Structure 1
Amino acid sequence: MPLNLPGAALEALPSPLTILDNSGTIIYVNQAWKHFADSNQLSIANYGVGLSYLDYCNEARITHSPDTNPILQGINDVISGVNDEFISQYPCHSLTENLWFQMHVVPLDYLGARHVIVIHNNISERIETETSLLKSERRLNLVLNNMPALIGYWNADLINEFGNKAYIEMFGIDPISIKGKHIRDVIGEHLYQLNLPYIEKVLSGEPQVFERAITDPKGKVHYTLASYIPDIDQGSVKGFFVLVKDITHIKQTEIELRKSEQMSRMMLDISIEGFNFVDLNGRFVDANSSFCQMLGYTKAEMLNMCVNDVEYLENPEQTAIHLHKITTESFDRFETIMQAKSGRLVDVEVSVAYLSDKEQYFSYTRDITQRIQAEKLRLQELEQQRDILIREVHHRIKNHLQGMVGLLGLQAYKNPNEQVLIQDIAAKIASIAVVYGVQGAQNQSNSYLCDITTEICKCLEVFGSEHINIDLTMTDQKRAILPTAYAVPIALVINELIINAIKHNNDEFSKTVAVTLSFDEHSALLNIENQHKTPAGFPSFEHGQGLGVGLTLVRSMLPKTGAHLSLTHQEDTVIARLSLECPVISIVPK
């Protein structure tokens, strides 16, 4: 076949390819075919060109794999025009590895005659991945089906897509039968109506946790704690996960406690924790001494008060709604803040049970102020440890980079012919070291643009062997913060712009570069000026024309949004203007 553009394309294909004439004879093979034959030491004359591919398939069927018979038939069907396409997967294992290929046969009209193209794609990796996924799914199902809890997934239409074996015990439905069923058909109409408010909330993206009593097919009542977790993908709720744990033993204890009024009274008197009874209107009808002492009231004072007199977070309307919820669900446990008589705020954990026979709420209140304070202290300590670690990491990175700069300086001294190149590399590394040095000194991940600019100017004043004067001017009304993601790229850009100004400065006695950093409400402007008397061949940064290595690096490192650079030539001065705004920087008062 002539090696024109289509022929070149066939040669470049990574998959082995052959073209057969209408008799099944090979008339062309590509480079991938030849490479495969060479790699597998297949001794075929002229790589099979001129031989019958159909005979080869028939021989392979007899000696190696009976599966090649449908392949032979499929190729013949495409050659004869019965089908316009044939696809088949087949194994091609060797002594050292297992390989799978997919054969794709399509017709080709060439020189007025029907031919076929046969492509062999290596799908071994896909087959291995599919096999691994099947094994992983089996292991996952094994774990989920042996969990002592109901685990399931319901899509946004409330149709089940997964349920473990625990559903058999609780609802009498096995994992296979539950798939495709509506949640109402699984849990029943009564539970469905009770759970509907939580279902609606989880489908709006809010995780839900609530308790529910469930009667299994044998008539046994299970008290459960249900968690609904929304499945959110790109801002849209696709469904929700369900985790239901059996807490019957806990609830039975609570129920026994409510039934035994005498035991409750005794516990009320001797307990070091706070207990109280509240009527349906939220007024205290009884309280033990520990609860009164916790809030600094006498018992007589407490019995003339209501819940909202000590509740700090909820207003009366919210408390009424909360009590109604407890009445409906029989129990609630939550953390809140109560205000003592002295005005002191007390962090408490409250467990409330509704006593339907007494039409009262029984509450267990535990002072958790010390725990909350301990947690805050622990978080502060962790933050301090994190800050120390970050500072140490930044310091070590800076030291390592500065060590590299020192070694490069030594190499520049030993290799005068490569001095300029080595110093240029050292300056780039030094600018990165500046970023980590500033972050370490400020003990934070973000950096200030003014600090990075100042340190880079200091480093570059000793650039090369010439006398360099960098005149840095900046306003001090505001500061610009560089997020971590932009700190190193912007430092490299500033470094390259100043080095470029130094290199192209025409002053023979003292190379002076003026650097000005100013700010407005939303952006920062960095001007870099140097003397340059030859405007011929002045580069166009915007179009990427006439750029040297340094400006090419600047063009590649400059963020696509929030950063703009322009180069202008005015009389004998070249001015580089770098404008930065959000998201590259954020302006804050100094």
Structure 2
Amino acid sequence: MFGSPPPPPALLELIGDPVLTLRADLTALRANPAAREWLGSDATDGWRLLRQAAGSRLETWLRDASHAVETGRPVPPAPPLKLADGRRATLHLLRERPNWLLHVRLSAADIAEPPLREWLALSPLPQLMADAASGALLRLNTGFEQLCAAAPRHLNDLPDLLQALLGWNRGAPLPALAAQRAADGPLITEAEFVDAQGQHRWLQARLRLWRQDGRTLLLAVLEDQSLLHERDLAHQQLDALMDTAAVGLATFQPEGGWLKAHRKGTPFKNGAKAVVGSLQGISRDIVEPGSLAEFERLQRALKKGDLAEVRYAVRHPELGRRWLLTRVAPGILAGGRRTTSVVTLDVTAQAQAENALLLRAESERAVLDSVLVGIVTVGPDGIEWMNRSARRMFGCELADVLGQPMGVLAPEDDEHAFHAEPGSDVFECRLRGRDGREFWVIGNAVQTPRDDGSQQLTYALLDIDRRRHAEAQSRLAQASLARIIEGAPMAITLHEAQTLRIVKLNQAAAAMAGQTEAELLGHGPEALFGNAQGGRVANDMREALASQSVVQREYQVTSGPGTRMWDTRLLHLAGVGGDDAPELLLLVASDVTEHRAAEAARLQAAIAQRELLVREVHHRIKNNLQGVAGLLQQIAARRPEVAPVLKDAVGQVQAIAQVYGLQVGASGPLVLKRVFDAIVGSVQRAQGRVVTTTAEGGALLEDWCLPEAEAIPIALSLNELLGNALRHGNGGDGGEGGQVRCQLICDAGGVTVEIANAGRLPDGFLLQNIRSGVSGLGLVRALLPRRSAILSLEQQDDDVVCRLELLPPSVVHNPAIKPSSG
């Protein structure tokens, strides 16, 4: 057939293989019965869908084959096409001027291909196939059934988290899944899911929509990523453990030697000059001579695979002498292969700690020598040591009393504590210094065993005269503080921590409550702040008692005909008066009524001034933009060659000016209905045409608003879409175009703007092929937010319908309207 001239059209009807007659642009013109049976009754649409599904491979071959026929070169082989029913199609292209003939040879499907249920049963991964239109589950394997508590029949029967993982939302596939093309990879989703057995799993889903014979199927393969997450967590924990403990970790195999050292393991740390941390970084020449025998035992354990723990010393060139502890632990891997784990730990700190113990006694003696308490140690032979405070207390040096009994420091009294048997009780006694001064001390004696088996007494003595002097000063300070509190202009009260009753207050607190001190003592916080505020104040007091920090609150207290604002601070006083003193709560309140009123007035003035400035700025911007639009119109009148371009620019500037004009006198986001009406009016005035508008949604028309950041981009987009409809619409008389209809639809989910005009879209028109630009659909695509605005353009009978769907956050609810309960 292809070696001779093309057959006449009547003969094509008798050919059993599909034959298409293509135009010069390779779109379908006619089809024989076999082609219509293959592509459907509308062969033209079927050929278009086939080209879209085959993608760039078919388009490249059609372009190269037509060029080869025109130039007389050999036609490249057609790419093999596997159809949805399993058959394969082989294409041949012939020239029939001015058209083309495309012959298609169909081969039968591979009958040896196993059925889908066998593949599902064979796969250990959870898999399913569902109807994307209805959500009915068509196929699922055992792995997927184990995720569910009961056998599901519909996607809506699955848990919400599993539906989201499968790309199913509110009875339809996710927009990202529905927008997939044949050449795109699968959509991947991840989520943590609790299966029917209560196990937490981290699942990853690979999703794809498969379209065949007008039916769309949802294919999903799930993979459990829990083990990978646990492995990564184990690696992180191991890294943290190695870094914290400064441990070197390595693996040794007898047949393969060292396999891998831990990437962070090193017993030596010295910044950027850290040496190799695994055992293979420790050579014999840095081992101390006294540790060579132990090091040799370690080498033999490594070669034989024996369990060993060796401690040895090395001389590091930078860190000096270090002690290392290496543990060799043999084991067998899951595959039966022998391996040995080697852990090296720097134990130099332990050796240093042993040396530190020798210095601890002297260090403790130095500390005791510096404390203010007098300490005297007495052995079997008498006084052995006195600290500096004791020597100053008794007015002598250690040499004066060394080896003498403790009674030499006490008066001649047989019942004195220094003469009696020592006990654990605290005693208070009078002492006499070597200089003759007598004074009172409080102290105790502790008896401890010594290394030689004898007992040692340690006396700790505190000069009470100094404490009494300090107590007198404390009482004086407390009296001064009480006078200050009583005369302070702030209300101050003390409350019991358990009952919150008032135990003490000053005159300012009594004046705040309008009662006397006697009437308030013993009562709760409601006596100060009234019954209405009493419960709230009590809760705040308990919070302060539990938090151990200052709690600040403000309360309104009715005082006569007016209301006063009190700034109150609550503080828990725990153990202020000693360990046996009851816990108290301190309340300090200041009258800030005038201060708060002044602040509120300043704030309102600042807000009013800001709103005035914003309105003025918006008004000036609108006037300037309108002035710019007027200049552009004058230039267009003088320069007719650039008038169309300037006309578009004037419309865009007028759209921006309309937004700024609406913002004059308005606060918060702009009502979308007002922006819509303003843009429609601006376009009608600029084009000299009438646009028929309708609005649906009732109260929602005043509810949906545009945020400030989205107002100008969406206004420009509406201006371009309306202008585009007016420019490209055509009427039946060939005049200035047919009627343009614009409809605003508001519902609970968002806002839809629908623009319809008489006309036809070009063949093969795809909105996604329109590149971003400075006018028309290119400007609209560049301005609209990608995630919350959906633009579509389609042919409906004799009309071109453009739909712009705006979803939150591109549109928001009006904050001035109280949301309905429904």
In terms of fraction of residues, the more helix-rich structure is: 1
Structure 2 length-normalised TM: 0.37
From the CA coordinates, give the structure whose radius of gyration is larger: 2
